[in-house]
Amino acid sequence: MNDNPLARWSVLILVALMMFFAYMFVDVMSPLKSLVESSLGWDSGVFGTYAASEYILNVCGFLIIAGVILDKLGVRFSGVLSAALMVVGAGIKYIGISDWFQTTSLCQWLGTWWTSMPASAKMASFGFMIFGCGCEMEGTNVSKILAKWFKGKEMALAMGLEMAIARLGVFGVMWIAPIISAKFGSSVTAPVGFCGALLCIGLINFIIFGVMDRKFDSQLVEAGLASEEKSPEDEFHVSDLGAIFRSKMFWIVALLCVLYYSAIFPFQRYATNFFEETLNIEAASAARLFSCFPILAMILTPFLGFFIDRVGKGASMLLVGSVIMVACHLCFAFLLPVFPYKWLALTIVVILGVSFSLVPAALWPSVPKIIDEKILGSAYCLIFWVQNVGLCFVPMIIGSLRQSTGGYLVPMIVFSCFGVLAFFFSILLKKEDRKHGYGLEEPNIKK
């Protein structure tokens, strides 16, 4: 079935749209940070804790369990479960920030402990935790789906297109969230509810994908390319996790991943407020400015995937992407405050988008080259788990630094340091590839 271009690209659209909706929901409150603080009584520290809550349960071990579920029960079950978790988490978060929740006895009880964090933030964070479990699990699930459906074909291109579509969600929500909020009288709940409804559509997408994937599996069995019962050698065992943890390449990739993304995703949470203060502009204008961040990434990533499929040079792209990211954050820290021009900010944002194209386009298609297919889902989940450790604590650190220093200089320097470390791990990755011949610099499509 995956030999049919229409079928495999339809699968890509179905799963990519869910990640598009998920990325919208992740950042739906980012362009509304000032409004959230004024209407809900949050401060930068509370906002940072809320942003970190998306990753807390994943760090506590859920992603490890998710990897086992994915490899034991397959992409269909994992896909629907992940989508359902996102919908449930979104619903809880919506309740937490709604006006009527403030009058409930639950809200009053939540306000009696840890009084530095408002009850609305506690409830929203709880929902964001559940959503985060589904979102990160779905991210790994989508990677395994594309590796399955595009094996021996345009895998890097497919992964690049999926990332591009997902990042379009960041662009869209930076424009849509302020508009919806303004239409409903400076409401925080309206844009959150809108993005939550889109997640329900994503859940339907995965149900449709499940039907297609079941037919694909039956065709593989009929063609003798797979069996209904896995042999003991092909069956996933929990003990296989040890092989992943003992892999030096796994740790290099995982640490490179956490360092790089810790300088990207937490920055997204504060970017609108950073431009708002640095350029002295309104929040809506700042959000529209930052919305350009994923645009070049969205355009370039599929082309980079096409290039990797046919030419290779994935490890080299990781090096270049890390260098660009360091340069951009240093410009945010030292150059933009001295020359607070919109055109300069836009230029840096767009260049940062180039980095956000190079690294993910090269990183994710490289994992199947270093990890056995039967434990690929667990490997992706464990990489995401390590990544989530950084994504959990970094927003809280940045929020605390922002609160204590009253500015963004120190946070931007911290982001730059993450990039420097990612650069050194990129060098180490390329060295190991040259030594052991994993093929990270080679094309995916074999002639």
The pLDDT value recorded for residue 447 is 60
The reply to whether 446 falls in a domain is no
The pLDDT value recorded for residue 233 is 45
Half-sphere exposure of 160 (CA within 13 A, CB side): 25
What's the pTM value of the predicted model, to 2 decimals?
0.73
Flag whether pLDDT at 231 surpasses 50. no
Average of per-residue pLDDT across 143-150: 84
Give me the amino acid identity at 283.
A
Q: What is the DSSP letter of 236?
A: -
The reply to whether 444 falls in a domain is no
What's the pLDDT band for 226 if we cut at 50, 70, 90?
Answer: low
Which of 60-74, 81-95, 256-270: highest mean pLDDT? 81-95
The reply to whether 34 falls in a domain is yes
The reply to whether 445 falls in a domain is no
The pLDDT value recorded for residue 125 is 92
The pLDDT value recorded for residue 372 is 73
Contact assessment for residue 355 and residue 321, using Cβ atoms and an 8 Å cutoff: yes
Q: What percent of the chain has pLDDT over 90?
A: 30
The reply to whether 238 falls in a domain is yes
The reply to whether 441 falls in a domain is no
What's the pLDDT band for 131 if we cut at 50, 70, 90?
Answer: very high
Flag whether pLDDT at 176 surpasses 70. yes
Torsion of CA 399, 401, 407, 409, to 10 degrees: -120
What's the pLDDT band for 232 if we cut at 50, 70, 90?
Answer: very low
Contact assessment for residue 16 and residue 22, using Cβ atoms and an 8 Å cutoff: no
Flag whether pLDDT at 331 surpasses 90. yes
Residue 169 tokens, joined: 């969600």
The pLDDT value recorded for residue 349 is 92
Closest to 48 measured CA to CA, from 364, 440, 411 = 411
Flag whether pLDDT at 311 surpasses 90. no
For tokens 């340091």, what's the residue? Answer: 417
Give me the amino acid identity at 62.
F
The reply to whether 403 falls in a domain is yes
Average of per-residue pLDDT across 256-277: 88
Residue 30 tokens, joined: 């980012």
Going by C-beta distance under 8 Å and a sequence separation of 6 or more, which residues neighbour residue 400? 45, 48
- The structural domain count of the chain equals 1
Q: The CATH number of the domain where 363 resides is what?
A: 1.20.1250.20
The reply to whether 135 falls in a domain is yes
CA-to-CA separations, 175 to 32, 179, 184, in angstroms, rounded: 11, 7, 15
Q: Which domain holds residue 63?
A: 5-436
